[in-house]
Chains A and B, each alone.
Chain A
Amino acid sequence: DGGITQSPKYLFRKEGQNVTLSCEQNLNHDAMYWYRQDPGQGLRLIYYSQIVNDFQKGDIAEGYSVSREKKESFPLTVTSAQKNPTAFYLCASTKGTPGRTEAFFGQGTRLTVV
């Protein structure tokens, strides 16, 4: 079955550490996105990528980095520069073509700083 997979589901990080969240899709989608969600809040865009080897900052990119070396993969690194990283992180993908192209979401990674 086609889908989008995030791992791990839960992640604990010590202060000062970098951590990388995985996102893989086998939907052959061109565009991929990372969102952050805080409790009781909507989704805020961190980074997005429309094609391989290209990505753009979203609204809250500071303290995060991404890469897009393969169409299927869009990992997110939460660096020590991100002052408040505890949140629910959602990866999404779309076909990137006009028309009704809804975003498909992974199941999310809940990151906690300990």
Chain B
Amino acid sequence: GQNIDQPTEMTATEGAIVQINCTYQTSGFNGLFWYQQHAGEAPTFLSYNVLDGLEEKGRFSSFLSRSKGYSYLLLKELQMKDSASYLCAVRRNNAGNMLTFGGGTRLMVKP
């Protein structure tokens, strides 16, 4: 079966750095996505990794290690508006390239 694990909740301080981890066990791995979701809203795309290494995009970076089945999302210079849920999703090429989501990590940024 497919298994994607993330911490349920995290708290961090405005201006700080936070790392949200995601571990996965899946067949047909074909890329890992991170999405941000504010309460009651649709998820929005943040980042995509398919090869090992770090992808940087402004304040957000995402890392992937395929051999370890591990990814993290790094958020720098945290702002209050970063308070949201962060969803890790794995794409599987043996299942119509659909995305399988983890349970999400609820991040609270405090002043």
Residues of A within 8 A of B (CB): 31, 33, 35, 40-45, 48, 50, 56, 58, 88, 90, 92, 94, 96, 98, 100-108, 110
Out of B42, B89, B97, which one reaches A31, CB within 8 Å?
B97
Say which one of B10-18, B71-79, B98-106 lies at the interface with A: B98-106
Give every chain B residue within 8 A of A107 (Cβ-Cβ).
Answer: 41-42
Closest to B30 in A: A98
On whether the beta carbons of A40 and B106 are closer than 8 Å, the reply is yes
Give every chain A residue within 8 A of B33 (Cβ-Cβ).
Answer: 102-103
CA of A43 to CA of B90 in the docked complex: distance in angstroms?
12
On whether the beta carbons of A90 and B42 are closer than 8 Å, the reply is yes
Q: How far is the CB of B27 from chain A (nearest CB, A)?
A: 15
Residues of B within 8 A of A (CB): 4, 8, 30-31, 33, 40-45, 48, 50, 87, 89, 96-104, 106
Out of B43, B45, B48, B50, which one reaches A90, CB within 8 Å?
B43
CA of A48 to CA of B101 in the docked complex: distance in angstroms?
14
Give every chain B residue within 8 A of A35 (Cβ-Cβ).
Answer: 101
Shortest 10 CB-CB contacts between residues of A and residues of B = A105-B42, A42-B103, A43-B101, A102-B45, A42-B101, A42-B104, A100-B48, A50-B96, A48-B98, A107-B42
Give every chain A residue within 8 A of B40 (Cβ-Cβ).
Answer: 88, 108, 110
CA of A35 to CA of B41 in the docked complex: distance in angstroms?
13
On whether the beta carbons of A102 and B48 are closer than 8 Å, the reply is yes
Give every chain B residue within 8 A of A94 (Cβ-Cβ).
Answer: 97
Contact of A45 with B100 at beta-carbon distance under 8 Å, contacts A40-B106, A100-B50, A102-B33 already known: yes
Give every chain A residue within 8 A of B99 (Cβ-Cβ).
Answer: 33, 45, 92, 103
On whether the beta carbons of A108 and B97 are closer than 8 Å, the reply is no
